[in-house]
Amino acid sequence: MKVLITNDDGINARGIITLAKEIAKKHEVIVVAPREQKSASSHSISIHNPIKIREEKIDKGFKAYSLVGTPADCTQAGLSLLGKDIDLVISGINRGLNCGTDILYSGTVSAAVEGAIYSVPSIAISMEVDWEREDEDYTKAAKWINKVVDIAENSYLRNDVVLNVNVPNVNEEDIKGIKVCKLGQSTYKTDYVLVEENEDMIYITKGVRNKISEDDSDLYFLSQGYVTLTPLHFDFTNFKILDEVKNIFEN
Protein backbone atom coordinates (compact mmCIF):
# COMPACT_ATOMS: atom_id res chain seq x y z
CA MET A 1 0.00 0.00 0.00
CA LYS A 2 0.91 3.65 -0.34
CA VAL A 3 0.81 5.11 3.16
CA LEU A 4 0.81 8.78 4.15
CA ILE A 5 2.17 9.30 7.67
CA THR A 6 1.64 12.52 9.62
CA ASN A 7 1.35 13.72 13.24
CA ASP A 8 0.94 16.79 15.44
CA ASP A 9 4.19 16.48 17.42
CA GLY A 10 6.33 17.64 14.50
CA ILE A 11 8.55 16.19 11.79
CA ASN A 12 11.43 15.39 14.17
CA ALA A 13 9.35 13.66 16.86
CA ARG A 14 10.60 10.20 17.83
CA GLY A 15 7.12 8.75 17.48
CA ILE A 16 6.65 9.56 13.80
CA ILE A 17 10.17 8.44 12.86
CA THR A 18 9.69 5.08 14.62
CA LEU A 19 6.30 4.66 12.95
CA ALA A 20 7.55 5.52 9.48
CA LYS A 21 10.50 3.11 9.72
CA GLU A 22 8.21 0.30 10.88
CA ILE A 23 5.53 0.81 8.22
CA ALA A 24 8.16 1.25 5.48
CA LYS A 25 9.23 -2.37 6.02
CA LYS A 26 6.09 -3.51 4.19
CA HIS A 27 4.64 -0.45 2.46
CA GLU A 28 5.56 2.60 0.39
CA VAL A 29 5.68 5.52 2.83
CA ILE A 30 5.58 9.29 2.49
CA VAL A 31 5.83 11.50 5.59
CA VAL A 32 4.26 14.96 5.75
CA ALA A 33 4.31 16.54 9.21
CA PRO A 34 4.28 19.96 10.86
CA ARG A 35 7.65 21.68 11.08
CA GLU A 36 6.89 22.59 14.70
CA GLN A 37 4.93 21.15 17.60
CA LYS A 38 1.18 21.43 16.92
CA SER A 39 -0.42 19.40 19.70
CA ALA A 40 -4.04 20.18 20.61
CA SER A 41 -4.57 22.12 17.39
CA SER A 42 -7.69 20.04 16.70
CA HIS A 43 -8.97 20.30 13.11
CA SER A 44 -7.77 23.81 12.39
CA ILE A 45 -6.58 24.60 8.87
CA SER A 46 -4.56 27.46 7.39
CA ILE A 47 -6.78 29.76 5.36
CA HIS A 48 -5.11 33.15 5.89
CA ASN A 49 -1.43 32.12 5.78
CA PRO A 50 0.62 30.58 2.96
CA ILE A 51 1.60 26.91 3.21
CA LYS A 52 5.38 26.45 3.32
CA ILE A 53 6.78 23.02 2.48
CA ARG A 54 10.32 21.67 2.30
CA GLU A 55 11.81 18.23 1.85
CA GLU A 56 13.57 16.76 4.90
CA LYS A 57 16.29 14.10 5.03
CA ILE A 58 14.94 11.78 7.74
CA ASP A 59 15.63 8.26 6.43
CA LYS A 60 16.65 6.63 3.16
CA GLY A 61 13.57 4.40 3.28
CA PHE A 62 10.99 7.10 2.60
CA LYS A 63 10.47 10.68 1.47
CA ALA A 64 9.65 13.23 4.15
CA TYR A 65 8.37 16.79 4.06
CA SER A 66 7.84 19.40 6.76
CA LEU A 67 5.01 21.88 6.50
CA VAL A 68 4.46 25.21 8.22
CA GLY A 69 0.82 24.65 9.09
CA THR A 70 -1.51 22.36 10.98
CA PRO A 71 -1.82 18.55 11.10
CA ALA A 72 -4.95 18.71 8.91
CA ASP A 73 -2.96 20.86 6.44
CA CYS A 74 -0.33 18.10 6.33
CA THR A 75 -2.87 15.42 5.46
CA GLN A 76 -4.42 17.59 2.78
CA ALA A 77 -1.04 18.44 1.23
CA GLY A 78 0.00 14.80 1.39
CA LEU A 79 -3.13 13.66 -0.41
CA SER A 80 -3.49 16.49 -2.92
CA LEU A 81 0.06 17.65 -3.68
CA LEU A 82 2.94 15.54 -2.40
CA GLY A 83 1.52 12.02 -2.56
CA LYS A 84 -0.33 10.13 -5.24
CA ASP A 85 -3.03 7.45 -4.93
CA ILE A 86 -2.63 7.15 -1.14
CA ASP A 87 -4.28 3.99 0.23
CA LEU A 88 -4.01 4.74 3.94
CA VAL A 89 -3.33 7.68 6.26
CA ILE A 90 -1.67 7.00 9.63
CA SER A 91 -1.29 9.81 12.17
CA GLY A 92 1.12 9.39 15.07
CA ILE A 93 2.71 7.92 17.05
CA ASN A 94 1.50 10.65 19.39
CA ARG A 95 3.34 11.40 22.61
CA GLY A 96 0.49 10.84 25.06
CA LEU A 97 -2.95 9.27 24.81
CA ASN A 98 -5.75 10.53 22.59
CA CYS A 99 -8.74 8.86 24.20
CA GLY A 100 -12.15 9.79 25.51
CA THR A 101 -13.46 13.20 24.57
CA ASP A 102 -9.85 14.44 24.38
CA ILE A 103 -10.00 13.47 20.70
CA LEU A 104 -11.93 16.69 20.09
CA TYR A 105 -8.76 18.66 20.88
CA SER A 106 -6.33 16.28 19.23
CA GLY A 107 -4.32 17.29 16.18
CA THR A 108 -3.31 13.64 15.79
CA VAL A 109 -6.88 12.41 15.48
CA SER A 110 -7.90 15.37 13.33
CA ALA A 111 -5.12 14.63 10.84
CA ALA A 112 -6.56 11.13 10.48
CA VAL A 113 -10.12 12.45 10.23
CA GLU A 114 -9.01 14.73 7.39
CA GLY A 115 -8.07 11.59 5.48
CA ALA A 116 -11.48 10.01 6.06
CA ILE A 117 -13.26 13.21 4.97
CA TYR A 118 -11.54 12.72 1.60
CA SER A 119 -12.44 9.01 1.48
CA VAL A 120 -9.06 7.60 2.45
CA PRO A 121 -8.99 4.96 5.23
CA SER A 122 -7.22 6.40 8.26
CA ILE A 123 -5.71 5.38 11.58
CA ALA A 124 -4.62 7.49 14.57
CA ILE A 125 -2.08 5.95 16.95
CA SER A 126 -1.09 7.35 20.37
CA MET A 127 0.98 6.05 23.27
CA GLU A 128 0.72 6.83 26.97
CA VAL A 129 3.95 8.25 28.38
CA ASP A 130 5.51 9.31 31.66
CA TRP A 131 5.38 13.10 31.36
CA GLU A 132 8.22 13.48 33.86
CA ARG A 133 10.59 11.85 31.36
CA GLU A 134 11.43 12.36 27.70
CA ASP A 135 13.11 9.08 26.79
CA GLU A 136 10.15 6.91 25.79
CA ASP A 137 10.61 4.05 23.30
CA TYR A 138 7.85 3.87 20.66
CA THR A 139 8.79 0.38 19.46
CA LYS A 140 5.90 -1.40 21.20
CA ALA A 141 3.36 1.06 19.78
CA ALA A 142 4.85 0.63 16.29
CA LYS A 143 4.49 -3.15 16.59
CA TRP A 144 0.84 -2.82 17.60
CA ILE A 145 -0.02 -0.44 14.81
CA ASN A 146 1.66 -2.84 12.40
CA LYS A 147 -0.74 -5.55 13.59
CA VAL A 148 -3.71 -3.22 13.17
CA VAL A 149 -2.60 -2.24 9.66
CA ASP A 150 -2.22 -5.91 8.67
CA ILE A 151 -5.73 -6.77 9.89
CA ALA A 152 -7.24 -3.64 8.37
CA GLU A 153 -5.60 -4.27 5.00
CA ASN A 154 -6.92 -7.82 4.89
CA SER A 155 -10.34 -7.34 6.47
CA TYR A 156 -11.37 -3.76 7.27
CA LEU A 157 -10.20 -0.81 5.24
CA ARG A 158 -13.20 1.53 5.31
CA ASN A 159 -12.75 4.90 3.62
CA ASP A 160 -15.19 6.69 5.94
CA VAL A 161 -13.86 5.37 9.27
CA VAL A 162 -10.94 6.40 11.47
CA LEU A 163 -9.52 3.69 13.72
CA ASN A 164 -8.31 5.43 16.89
CA VAL A 165 -5.66 3.29 18.62
CA ASN A 166 -4.11 3.92 22.05
CA VAL A 167 -1.29 2.00 23.72
CA PRO A 168 -0.97 1.98 27.54
CA ASN A 169 2.17 2.86 29.49
CA VAL A 170 3.05 -0.68 30.56
CA ASN A 171 5.84 -3.03 29.55
CA GLU A 172 5.27 -4.70 26.20
CA GLU A 173 4.99 -8.15 27.77
CA ASP A 174 2.34 -6.87 30.21
CA ILE A 175 -0.10 -5.66 27.54
CA LYS A 176 -3.16 -7.91 27.88
CA GLY A 177 -4.37 -7.60 24.29
CA ILE A 178 -6.59 -5.30 22.30
CA LYS A 179 -10.12 -4.09 23.13
CA VAL A 180 -12.50 -2.53 20.63
CA CYS A 181 -14.55 -0.10 22.69
CA LYS A 182 -16.32 3.23 22.87
CA LEU A 183 -14.83 6.56 23.83
CA GLY A 184 -14.95 7.44 27.50
CA GLN A 185 -15.82 10.83 28.92
CA SER A 186 -12.59 12.53 29.87
CA THR A 187 -13.11 15.59 32.04
CA TYR A 188 -10.60 17.47 34.14
CA LYS A 189 -10.34 19.54 37.27
CA THR A 190 -8.45 22.58 36.00
CA ASP A 191 -6.59 24.98 38.28
CA TYR A 192 -5.61 28.44 37.02
CA VAL A 193 -2.39 29.68 38.64
CA LEU A 194 -1.75 33.42 38.41
CA VAL A 195 1.91 34.01 37.50
CA GLU A 196 1.91 37.67 36.45
CA GLU A 197 -0.39 40.64 36.64
CA ASN A 198 -0.03 43.88 34.65
CA GLU A 199 -2.38 44.99 31.88
CA ASP A 200 -3.22 41.32 31.52
CA MET A 201 -3.59 38.69 34.18
CA ILE A 202 -1.38 35.81 33.04
CA TYR A 203 -2.22 32.28 34.16
CA ILE A 204 -0.84 28.82 33.67
CA THR A 205 -3.25 25.90 33.87
CA LYS A 206 -2.85 22.57 35.60
CA GLY A 207 -5.39 19.86 34.86
CA VAL A 208 -6.02 16.56 36.62
CA ARG A 209 -8.27 13.97 34.96
CA ASN A 210 -11.40 13.21 36.95
CA LYS A 211 -12.18 9.66 38.06
CA ILE A 212 -13.09 7.16 35.32
CA SER A 213 -16.80 6.44 35.71
CA GLU A 214 -17.36 3.88 32.92
CA ASP A 215 -16.11 0.31 32.81
CA ASP A 216 -16.61 -0.27 29.07
CA SER A 217 -14.70 2.66 27.58
CA ASP A 218 -11.22 3.25 26.19
CA LEU A 219 -10.22 5.09 29.39
CA TYR A 220 -11.09 2.07 31.52
CA PHE A 221 -9.46 -0.58 29.34
CA LEU A 222 -6.27 1.46 29.03
CA SER A 223 -6.12 1.63 32.82
CA GLN A 224 -6.35 -2.18 32.82
CA GLY A 225 -3.40 -2.63 30.46
CA TYR A 226 -5.14 -3.11 27.11
CA VAL A 227 -4.48 -1.51 23.75
CA THR A 228 -7.75 0.15 22.73
CA LEU A 229 -9.30 0.66 19.31
CA THR A 230 -12.32 2.89 18.71
CA PRO A 231 -13.91 3.41 15.28
CA LEU A 232 -14.63 7.11 14.71
CA HIS A 233 -16.61 9.09 12.13
CA PHE A 234 -16.56 12.78 11.30
CA ASP A 235 -20.37 13.05 11.16
CA PHE A 236 -21.33 14.48 14.58
CA THR A 237 -25.06 13.99 14.01
CA ASN A 238 -26.76 12.40 17.02
CA PHE A 239 -28.93 9.96 15.10
CA LYS A 240 -30.48 8.55 18.29
CA ILE A 241 -32.38 11.77 18.93
CA LEU A 242 -32.75 13.07 15.36
CA ASP A 243 -36.43 12.07 15.03
CA GLU A 244 -37.23 13.38 18.51
CA VAL A 245 -35.72 16.80 17.74
CA LYS A 246 -37.39 16.86 14.33
CA ASN A 247 -40.82 16.30 15.91
CA ILE A 248 -40.23 19.13 18.38
CA PHE A 249 -38.88 21.80 16.04
CA GLU A 250 -40.66 20.98 12.77
CA ASN A 251 -44.09 20.59 14.34
Q: Which pLDDT belongs to residue 213?
A: 67
Q: Which pLDDT belongs to residue 144?
A: 96
Residue 22 is inside which H or E element, if any? helix 14-23
Pairwise CA distance, residues 117 & 139, whole Å: 29
Residue 23 is inside which H or E element, if any? helix 14-23
Q: Which of 109, 46, 100 is nearest to 221 (CA)?
A: 100
> For the chain, which domains are there?
2-185+213-250 (3.40.1210.10)
Strands, E assignment, the chain: 2-6, 28-34, 52-59, 62-68, 88-95, 122-127, 162-167, 178-180, 188-197, 201-209, 227-232
User: Residues 156-198: pLDDT tens digits?
Assistant: 888 999 999 999 999 999 999 999 999 998 776 788 888 888 8
What residues are paired with 40 via a beta bridge? none
Q: Which pLDDT belongs to residue 191?
A: 84
Residue ranges of the chain with per-residue pLDDT less than 50? none
Q: Which pLDDT belongs to residue 209?
A: 72
Q: Using CB atoms within 10 A of its CB, is residue 179 exposed (0-12), middle (13-18) or buried (19+)?
A: middle
CB atoms closer than 10 angstroms to residue 119? 11
What residues are paired with 90 via a beta bridge? 5, 123
Q: Which pLDDT belongs to residue 156?
A: 87
Pairwise CA distance, residues 6 & 17, whole Å: 10
Show the CA angle centred on residue 235, arms to residues 187 and 222, nearest 5°.
40
Question: Rounded to two decimals, what is the model's pTM?
Answer: 0.91
- Residue 101 DSSP label: G
